[in-house]
Amino acid sequence: MAQQPKEGRRAPRLFREHLDDHSRGPDDELTVALHAAANAANAARYAVISAQHTRLKFAAGAGADLTGDEWQEVSARVGERLAELRTAMVKVNEQFGLSSAQVRLLRYFRSHLNEVISGDALAGVSAIYEWARRVRELRVEHGWRIASGLTREDMHVDEYVLSEDKPDEDLAGHWRLAKEIRSRPGAGQDRALAYLQAIFPAAADQEQMLYVSRISSWSRRMRELDEQGWEIPFQCRRPRAGSRFVPPGYARA
């Protein structure tokens, strides 16, 4: 049977509201999962509060100051409680039919279409540590147009946005091509050129070029190809009005 938070240590408001809405009894799986999440969040909070109280008591001349070793112990307890919170949140998600991190992320993206979402928010929604890989799978394997700060200069690197409410089969196909060409031997410049030729006349973004070439200097190699006579427009910033260049962060053979 799940225990209620101790008197004076109320669960965070968000969880309290759900506890009120779903209090159908101690054997209800959703209620039990929400209790576990609330207790874990509460425990993490009060581990930090205990350190804060130690510091305040020292400031008031009523005890020893907080030490680095003590703070590390607090940090370790917080890490353990946060892991418990993630586990509990996964169980809550399962009660809503959100059985995988990929399903959870896609549902959240679609409910916030064309809205910039922080990586921190996506980490919370996914309830797993490797959320960024799941976002990439949505884009690479399923063709969802999810842009990030890597390809849009108006966003931070750890921000994402879904621009269309349906997957793009062409985009998924381009990523399959990138995966095949990436495995080829030879120079990164050759792989990058082969990829641009394979998807012509479509453009490739920076993430695709970095992935397929396997070299961080891929943009320099593209400029070298341009100097050799290959017409490869490349744009890493916003194009001027009337420019023939491809969208920011894209290259095209």
Using the 8-state DSSP alphabet, how is residue 194 labeled? H
Residue 88 in any domain: the answer is yes
- Assess if residue 6 is contained within a domain: no
Q: Is residue 131 part of a domain?
A: yes
Verify that 149 and 128 share a domain, yes or no.
yes
pLDDT in tens, 90-118: 999 999 999 999 999 999 999 999 999 99
Distances (CA, A) of 181 to 38, 86, 143, 147, 178: 48, 37, 18, 22, 5
Q: Of 99, 87, 251, which Cα lies nearest the Cα of 174?
A: 251
Average pLDDT over residues 119-130: 95
Task: Check pLDDT > 90 for residue 226.
Answer: no
pLDDT tens column, 199-221: 988 888 888 888 899 998 888 88
Local confidence band at 243 (pLDDT 50, 70, 90 cut-offs): very low
Q: How many CB atoms lie within 10 A of CB 152?
A: 19
Tell me the CATH number at 125: 1.10.10
User: Is the residue at 215 inside a domain?
Assistant: yes
Mean residue pLDDT across the chain: 83
* 37-85 confidence digits (pLDDT tens): 999 999 999 989 988 988 888 888 888 898 999 999 999 999 999 999 9
- What's the length of the chain? 253
74 in a structural domain? yes
Kindly state whether residues 112 and 185 are assigned to the same domain: no
Please tell me whether residues 20 and 48 are part of one structural domain.
Answer: yes
Please report the pLDDT score of residue 60 as a whole number. Answer: 87
48/109 Cα distance (integer angstroms): 32
Non-local CB neighbours of 125 within 8 Å, separated by 6+ positions: 104, 105, 108, 131
Domain end: 162, 180, 200, which one?
A: 162
**Helix, strand, coil proportions of the chain in percent (round to 5)?**
55, 5, 40
Residue 135 pLDDT exceeds 90? yes
d(CA 100, CA 110): 16
In which domain, by residue range, is 113 found?
A: 101-162
Q: What is the pLDDT of residue 27?
A: 58
